[in-house]
């Protein structure tokens, strides 16, 4: 059994925001990066309570990989929607939903007996380039809306290394059309593989 399958069999998902199939895809892509020994940090933009964050750290530990893991979140819940996010099937996504505190995230890591990631609190538009590692090997973006994905892409894209992987959550989700719009604007020529609503880009 692979490291990914072992982890998913051993530990539960702590929220319904990520499916088991999505978690497996994200972790498998990360493991491919680790196996290729691509230099750089791991970053996650939009962590909520840490469902994927916990598994990312567990996989790093399983590989005895000490690279930095940075997590970014407003800890204020969803931002306001913009015009690019309008969808007749996305009316349930309201500002302030999915709000948890930084303290709650860190508690989940302590409870799991895991080393905490480097946590950055703030809206993505307020972050500056020095808030992001100089080299990134793996990036998982879960910003839900057009502006959040655009802002995180602007920070991450210049730092992605050759051989790195970028995964964008909700890329193929009809209820959140702004995600694909921002991605296609900033990566117009990219080959994007869609798996379980995730957009996967190999750099």
Task: Output the average pLDDT for the chain.
Answer: 91
Query: What CA–CA distance (Å, rounded) separates 38 from 32?
Result: 9
Query: What CA–CA distance (Å, rounded) separates 43 from 136?
Result: 7
pLDDT at 146 (0 to 100): 92
CATH number 3.40.50.150 is the correct assignment for the domain at 38-90+100-202:
yes
pLDDT at 25 (0 to 100): 97
Read off the pLDDT band of 49 (50, 70, 90): confident
The answer to whether residue 82 scores a pLDDT higher than 70 is no
> pTM (2 decimals)?
0.93
The answer to whether residue 183 scores a pLDDT higher than 70 is yes
pLDDT at 61 (0 to 100): 97
Section 103-120 average pLDDT: 96
């Amino acid at each position: 059994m692979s490291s990914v399958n072992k982890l998913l069999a051993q530990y539960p998902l702590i929220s319904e925001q990520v499916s088991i199939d999505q978690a497996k895809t994200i972790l498998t892509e990360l493991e491919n990066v680790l196996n290729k020994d691509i230099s750089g940090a791991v970053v996650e933009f939009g962590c909520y309570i840490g469902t994927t964050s916990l598994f990312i750290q567990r996989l790093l530990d399983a590989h005895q990989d000490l690279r930095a893991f940075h997590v970014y979140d407003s800890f204020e819940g969803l931002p306001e929607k913009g015009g690019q996010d309008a969808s007749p099937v996305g009316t349930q996504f309201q500002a302030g939903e999915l709000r948890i505190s930084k303290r709650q995230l860190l508690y989940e890591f302590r409870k799991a007996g895991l080393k905490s990631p480097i946590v950055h609190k703030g809206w993505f538009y307020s972050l500056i380039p020095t808030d992001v590692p100089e080299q990134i090997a793996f990036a998982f973006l879960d910003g839900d809306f057009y502006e959040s994905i655009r802002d995180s892409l602007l920070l991450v894209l210049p730092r992605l290394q050759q051989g790195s992987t970028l995964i964008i959550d909700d890329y193929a989700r009809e209820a959140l059309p702004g995600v694909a719009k921002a991605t296609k604007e900033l990566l117009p020529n990219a080959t994007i593989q869609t798996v379980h609503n995730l957009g996967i880009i190999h750099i």
